[in-house]
A and B are shown apart, each in its own frame.
Chain A
Amino acid sequence: MAPSHLAFLVLAVPAASAGFIALFLRRQGGLASAVSVLAALAVAAGAGWLSLHGPRFEASREWLRLGGLTVSFGINFDDLAALMLAIVALVGLCVHVFSLGYMRDDEAKARYFGGLSIFMFSMIGIVLADNLFMMFIFWELVGFSSWLLINHWYERPSAAAAAKKAFIVNRVGDFGFLLGIILCYHLRGTVNLTDLAAQASSGAAPFSRAIPLLLFCGAVGKSAQLPLQVWLPDAMEGPSPVSALIHAATMVAAGIYMLCRIQVLMVNPALTVIMWVGTATALYAALCAIVQSDIKRVLAYSTLSQLGYMVAAFGMGTYFQPQADGSYHTASGVSAAMFHLTTHACFKALLFLGAGSVIYGCHHEQDIFKMGGLAGRMKLTFVTFTIGVAAIIGFPFLAGFFSKDAILALAFSSNRAVFALLALTAILTAFYMVRLWKIVFFGATRSEAAAHAHEGGGVLTGPLVVLGALSVVAGWRRFYPAAFAGILNNVPEAEGRAHGIVLGVSLTVLLIGAGAAWAFYGVSGPDALELRAPGLFRALGALQQCFDRCYGWYVAKVQQRLAMALNFLDVIGLSGLVVRGTAGLAGLAGLGVRALHVGRINAYVYWFLGGVALLWLFAAGIL
């Protein structure tokens, strides 16, 4: 079978699974879960083959033609897409299998698995898309699946509110994205990525700061950068596997992926903005994570922080340098961002699934100050979670070490201020992750639920083992298949003296952060920071709340008033005047005509006279 057909199948199988579940299997949760997992398996197999052995190709078909605008449906399967597809398929499969165990007792399994299938379809669509319109369509679909899945336990008002918030905040970013697409079409005449690259290589492209910045708005929304990061912590209302898949490994990485795709449009001023937004997000999220007490929220802020790293890496390293033969060299920023994205997908999914296992074991308790002492009770989870923590804080020779080093090296050579801030963030990362690790797994159990904790069974621990193994090896680039060399061959590495400095800095921040957290936090009692430095604790809490408060104020004071004014206009103006007014006019006309029907012949003859008079006036030349 031709590779383009296989790619199309990889795209269509989850959609078919979702459709089948939605139409026929609404009530059969078990069957639905089987269908969905089989679909994920098929996707993983197809994606694996395509990425590792398949050729790189492009295929497209025209879909709509509106005047001069052509929207086509196409697949652009280059190295970048291959890498991302492999990540999405693999992590997706792990999450599907984990969900079999985690959602075993849930009532709405069918809806959940249908949502997972739709998500896989949408995400693969983003990965494979060859033009910005198609990407935007799937972008919105991903937002919808995210809403659907966050909203899984919709009877909880907090879950419903969180889902709405996620969708609306994403929409704000997508507005910028759409404006960027329109502007791109207007200025460049095409939204096809290959054509844009060709334009850039030939040097005929007009300079535009607005296009990349507007398109970046989409990434700000989807990848939860400042100031649109408010939805990600609340999105933890969804089940843990959903958080693992969507809000850690894949959907939020879609923003990074999109940035890498549009690297040909980047210009230096835009890149500077992107770099600073990423750095600010990384630092802000790390600060907020220190004071969280919900296990998933800590991980959510950690995700935010790592995404900031990826965005900053992209911003620092991506100078588009076309080659003489029309191709382009993958920029170092793209390589660094994608490398970190790969390793982050592995260990963040591992951490979230581990958290899911912990939550499941503690009978759905999510407050870390009610856990504790789980190291002895849930051994496999403990081991894999430790691997995940070590990976994320940059423990030598695990996955995060290499990718974070690459970013730090890039920062060292581009912008020392950013380097300093990213190093500070690394300290904080180590700090809060070790805090989490210690409080959850060590010491005496703090509650009844933790005392009865137990492992969830093979279905829950299997994916953990797989992802744990990946987290260990994902950093060693020589283990990567040659298929991905195109993207990962330009990962920045410091040379000579800089190499030593960067290595030294990364090890130092690891030791400082981890050591401080281990020493500072006790294994029992409430949050040590709260106890000993309540002012700082409250300040960090306020930092976390300030964005939500701003938006809340804006919505309540500005937007609601505007909405009420518009509502007034709508009810009085449109419904009242235009719609009912026209109806009223017709009614009045009807009344008027009806009043003429008096039934008396006299009256009719008078009207007759009127008509005759009119005719006479006409004939006499007066009218």
Chain B
Amino acid sequence: MGQFLFSFFAVFSALCAAGVVVCKNVVNAAMCLLLCLLGVAALFIRLDAFLLAFLLLLVYAGAVVALFLFIVMLLDTRGQEAPQARRGLTVAPRVVAIALVGAGIASLALRGRLVAPAAAAVPAVGASLKAYAYLLFTTYLLPVEIISFLLLIAMLGVIVLSRREGEHSGYGN
């Protein structure tokens, strides 16, 4: 059962990721991203990282993708997706890129041999929320504080960046 779930969600995620790249419509791409995130969340649950799965869905799927969609709607990009004349270079670089990326993945598949015990043999330490929270507030307290500082800066940055030009600001103009 578990193996089936893994296979299903693995293929599902991969296909949705491909969809993000392929879809011409930006909203469609965003939707594909959303589905991909769902698949990855499911995989997280398979890996007994429940908190992370829900965080992924809440933060990423809920906030980030929603934000993307807001911006897509805000910026009227429909008029710009008109296909223009192909430049000669767009085919060859794409082929090269696909080849390189494919080669990388293939080499990993063929030669990467990670040795690890089966999932059942290892206790799932990540499943316990208590252990998680304990770690966050003792060993990793500093990164948590820094992260909060980072979020503060990000907020300020967004406010500054989104001012309209010509608006009266407190510092000289």
- In chain B, positions 66-103 with a C-beta closer than 8 Å to chain A are 93, 97, 100-101, 103
B110 nearest CB across to chain A (Å): 10
* Contact assessment for A620 and B111 in the assembled complex, using a CB-CB cutoff below 8 Å: yes
Q: Check B3 for interface membership: any CB of A closer than 8 A.
A: no
- Complex-state Cα separation, A108 to B101, whole angstroms: 86
Q: Check A616 for interface membership: any CB of B closer than 8 A.
A: yes
- Complex-state Cα separation, A240 to B111, whole angstroms: 100
Which residue of the partner chain, among A606, A609, A620, contacts B107 with CB atoms under 8 Å?
A620
Q: Check B104 for interface membership: any CB of A closer than 8 A.
A: yes
* Contact assessment for A609 and B111 in the assembled complex, using a CB-CB cutoff below 8 Å: no
* Contact assessment for A606 and B97 in the assembled complex, using a CB-CB cutoff below 8 Å: yes
B105 nearest CB across to chain A (Å): 10
Chain A to chain B contacts (Cβ below 8 Å), 5 pairs: A606-B93, A606-B97, A609-B97, A609-B101, A616-B107
B82 nearest CB across to chain A (Å): 18
* Contact assessment for B107 and A613 in the assembled complex, using a CB-CB cutoff below 8 Å: no
How many residues of chain B are within 8 Å of chain A by beta carbon? 8
A611 nearest CB across to chain B (Å): 11
Given contacts A613-B100, A613-B104, 11 further A-B contacts (CB under 8 A): A606-B93, A606-B97, A609-B97, A609-B100, A609-B101, A612-B104, A613-B103, A616-B104, A616-B107, A620-B107, A620-B111
How many residues of chain A are within 8 Å of chain B by beta carbon? 6
Contacts of A613 in B (CB 8 A): 100, 103-104
- In chain B, positions 90-140 with a C-beta closer than 8 Å to chain A are 93, 97, 100-101, 103-104, 107, 111
Contacts of A620 in B (CB 8 A): 107, 111
Per-position binary interface string of chain A over residues 602-614, scored 1 when its CB falls under 8 Å from any chain B CB and 0 otherwise: 0000100100110
Closest to A622 in B: B107
Query: Taking beta carbons and an 8 Å cutoff, which residues of A are in contact with B?
Result: 606, 609, 612-613, 616, 620
Closest to B111 in A: A620
Interface of B, helix, strand, loop or mixed by DSSP:
helix
Contacts of B104 in A (CB 8 A): 612-613, 616
Closest to A613 in B: B100
- Complex-state Cα separation, A584 to B54, whole angstroms: 61
- Complex-state Cα separation, A478 to B99, whole angstroms: 111
Closest to A605 in B: B97
- Complex-state Cα separation, A616 to B112, whole angstroms: 12
- Complex-state Cα separation, A434 to B101, whole angstroms: 108
Contacts of A616 in B (CB 8 A): 104, 107
Contacts of B101 in A (CB 8 A): 609
- Complex-state Cα separation, A609 to B111, whole angstroms: 21
Closest to B90 in A: A602
A471 nearest CB across to chain B (Å): 98
B113 nearest CB across to chain A (Å): 13
B162 nearest CB across to chain A (Å): 22
- Complex-state Cα separation, A413 to B123, whole angstroms: 126
Contacts of A612 in B (CB 8 A): 104
Contacts of B103 in A (CB 8 A): 613
Closest to A616 in B: B104
- In chain B, positions 12-57 with a C-beta closer than 8 Å to chain A are none
A600 nearest CB across to chain B (Å): 11
B149 nearest CB across to chain A (Å): 29
- Complex-state Cα separation, A613 to B103, whole angstroms: 9
- Complex-state Cα separation, A609 to B100, whole angstroms: 8
Contacts of B97 in A (CB 8 A): 606, 609
- Complex-state Cα separation, A620 to B100, whole angstroms: 13
Complex A-B, nearest 6 residue pairs according to Cβ-Cβ distance, in ascending order = A613-B100, A616-B104, A620-B107, A606-B93, A609-B100, A609-B97
- Complex-state Cα separation, A609 to B93, whole angstroms: 11
Contacts of A609 in B (CB 8 A): 97, 100-101
Contacts of B107 in A (CB 8 A): 616, 620
B107 nearest CB across to chain A (Å): 5
- Complex-state Cα separation, A612 to B105, whole angstroms: 13
- Complex-state Cα separation, A620 to B111, whole angstroms: 9
- Complex-state Cα separation, A3 to B107, whole angstroms: 94
A202 nearest CB across to chain B (Å): 85
A607 nearest CB across to chain B (Å): 11
Closest to B110 in A: A620
Contacts of A606 in B (CB 8 A): 93, 97
Closest to B97 in A: A609
B89 nearest CB across to chain A (Å): 10
Contacts of B93 in A (CB 8 A): 606
A602 nearest CB across to chain B (Å): 8
- Complex-state Cα separation, A616 to B93, whole angstroms: 19
- Complex-state Cα separation, A612 to B107, whole angstroms: 14
Closest to A610 in B: B100
- Complex-state Cα separation, A612 to B104, whole angstroms: 10
Closest to A620 in B: B107
A589 nearest CB across to chain B (Å): 23
- Complex-state Cα separation, A606 to B104, whole angstroms: 15
Closest to B93 in A: A606
B103 nearest CB across to chain A (Å): 8
B60 nearest CB across to chain A (Å): 23
- Complex-state Cα separation, A606 to B90, whole angstroms: 12
- Complex-state Cα separation, A457 to B101, whole angstroms: 106
Closest to B104 in A: A616
- Complex-state Cα separation, A561 to B45, whole angstroms: 91
A120 nearest CB across to chain B (Å): 77
Closest to B112 in A: A620
A598 nearest CB across to chain B (Å): 11
- Complex-state Cα separation, A606 to B96, whole angstroms: 10
B125 nearest CB across to chain A (Å): 30
- Complex-state Cα separation, A620 to B101, whole angstroms: 14
B124 nearest CB across to chain A (Å): 31
- Complex-state Cα separation, A612 to B103, whole angstroms: 12
- Complex-state Cα separation, A598 to B104, whole angstroms: 27
- Complex-state Cα separation, A115 to B97, whole angstroms: 80
A606 nearest CB across to chain B (Å): 6
- Complex-state Cα separation, A606 to B103, whole angstroms: 16
Closest to B99 in A: A613
A196 nearest CB across to chain B (Å): 79
A608 nearest CB across to chain B (Å): 11
Closest to A619 in B: B107
